[in-house]
Structure 1
């Protein structure tokens, strides 16, 4: 049966709209580039014990190629199993891709595994009209609550104007949007669309702008409505590393509310962005983005190596040194001690 957000377990909608940390889940592989179930589950346990409110699985950070090697359902299953160990049910978001037939099929898999929403990539719709895009979104929303996704064009996303987001926000089973164009003008297009659709009370806004995380969380977006819109949380690849520190950062941003912003908190925006530049390999057009996340997790012992499904995906020249430099420069934004103290339990 199709799932509507009104049918979610008690507390899921409230926690999504209040805002939380949702890491984009990586893929744990062996040296033979096969799934490592033990470490895959350890990653999920790490994120949840760090205080994440949910998990996003089958997304870009998980590697879209999992679908080509039969790993989509297995990795979603492992995360759901780890979530079942928690006293409070985490928000489970599954990435879905492709044209409508594939996206609907993946949404049904996610629904069968107990996921609450799907993060919908539109990368397969290059050249499509706005009407076609909206029809696709509505078809997937007929199966599962929908987490919209503005993916930056640099890694395959489509330019999506405010008119699209107004129509997207009008879909009754749309529940949230990950805003990740890495562009301030485009970010405002999403917010304008949600406001013009009068959907701000239903649509939870999550930053995916890994280059501007803190500012997104702190800004009151006063666009002329009854009240400012707020980006309440993040669904981020950057938050797949040093997650305990990310949870604390999110808590501090939310604690500010409508009050004055402390200068030291605002200063973290540049620090987090500089860390992200190293992790996401901005110097090489994001070539080492997934490997960069893996390298941090490898150093902490959560992963056994940085292997990706594509053997050409690896660290770029100088990226390892940049990772060491930002970790040393901003130790307050890392969580190595937390991982060290709990690693054996997560791997058990």
Structure 2
């Protein structure tokens, strides 16, 4: 059986947190830049992130390639930095590690995460996309025997399979599921997950948005379903997002504002309504920046390089290099980044990064 989540981690996960999906810091020769990788971890902790997701899409799936051999080193480095952050704050970060591949590989990765002290595994189902639901669920159960699971509905454009309501309804019955990252970039499929969890009777699964095109909308929307003779209402409590790997301090402030808007409902309706309208304005701005950073116009081809470019401009990364030398910014993407930087100055945390960057890079 997997280790249960420590109570403080369980409570933090359920109450909602900013969990950035960590990028990979590389040198010009495409080797791990350990100093800048550590600086990224320190940035996220200092910005107030509640956890960190490592070895996921934003970290580049190619770290698992034997030619690179970076999966274990990056996971271990991040675990060391999270240990240090926990010691400083006295409050543990939620540690999520990415898990990929068919069952043998996925179970092996889960064991590594467990041994390195990660709390849960974010399970990609891309490798079993063509299997029927029963086989997918058997795969999930095998991994859940090793480490608590964060389910993952990855969007189709970057390799995610379509997953039915029936799949999610059965997935929610796996005891060691602790959270689900909902990221199909699709309202219909998002509702499938929410309804499945509502109808499962589980009230202990933390729901995290990964819908980069609807971050704020997800965080302030009630999802209400009739289950038998009663109504069940669910909400997204936080986000596990590549988008929140940049401008993270502002993301923490945004989540706090969304939580405030939700908690105010009915208690101070007039103030709450004004807050929600303000958040809806910001929602469009966040989606506009995300479309540019993630290169939606070009089928997300420059999604990782776009995040790297923001971190490069802030001085946290030296360059935008990816493990794949053919992966970079799309034509026109840099100019679009210039546009949203000028249009939405309130969304960036450049001043915060500038104040602490040298400390993070030298500590």
Aligned to 1:25: 22
Aligned to 2:268: none
Please point out which of 217, 236, 240 is paired with 2:241. Answer: 236
After TM superposition, the score normalised by the length of structure 2 is 0.93
Aligned to 2:139: 136
Q: Is the CA contact (8 Å cut-off) linking 2:198 and 2:233 kept in structure 1?
A: no
Deviations 1:198-240 (A, max 9, x none): 11x2110000000100000000111124431000000001000
Q: Is the CA contact (8 Å cut-off) linking 2:250 and 2:347 kept in structure 1?
A: yes
Aligned to 1:71: 70
Q: Is the CA contact (8 Å cut-off) linking 1:4 and 1:173 kept in structure 2?
A: no
SS in 2 for 1:14: helix
Q: Which runs of 5+ in 2 are unaligned?
A: 266-271
Q: Is the CA contact (8 Å cut-off) linking 1:55 and 1:90 kept in structure 2?
A: yes
Is 1:280 the equivalent of 2:294? yes
Is 1:45 the equivalent of 2:68? no
SS in 2 for 1:34: coil
| Cα deviation, residue 73, structure 1 | 0.7
Deviations 1:233-275 (A, max 9, x none): 0000100011111110001001112513421112111110000
Aligned residues: 344
Aligned to 1:81: 80
Aligned to 1:125: 128
Please point out which of 336, 339, 351 is paired with 1:322. Answer: 336
| Cα deviation, residue 3, structure 1 | 2.3
Deviations 1:18-62 (A, max 9, x none): 000000000000000000111001001101110000000000000
SS in 2 for 1:278: helix
| Cα deviation, residue 162, structure 1 | 1.0
Is 1:157 the equivalent of 2:160? yes
Is 1:253 the equivalent of 2:258? yes
Q: Is the CA contact (8 Å cut-off) linking 1:204 and 1:232 kept in structure 2?
A: yes
Q: Is the CA contact (8 Å cut-off) linking 1:287 and 1:313 kept in structure 2?
A: yes
| Cα deviation, residue 172, structure 1 | 0.3
Aligned to 1:267: 281
| Cα deviation, residue 154, structure 1 | 1.1
Aligned to 2:95: 92
RMSD: 0.9
Q: Using the alignment, how far apart are the partners of 2:234 and 2:294 within structure 1?
A: 28
Aligned to 1:211: 213
Q: Is the CA contact (8 Å cut-off) linking 1:279 and 1:323 kept in structure 2?
A: yes
Is 1:146 the equivalent of 2:149? yes
Q: Is the CA contact (8 Å cut-off) linking 2:63 and 2:71 kept in structure 1?
A: yes
Q: Which runs of 5+ in 1 are unaligned?
A: none
Aligned to 2:269: none
Deviations 1:66-122 (A, max 9, x none): 000210011111111111112211000000000000000001001111000000000
Please point out which of 305, 312, 321 is paired with 1:307. Answer: 321
SS in 2 for 1:228: strand
After TM superposition, the score normalised by the length of structure 1 is 0.97
Q: Using the alignment, how far apart are the partners of 1:64 and 1:75 within structure 2?
A: 12
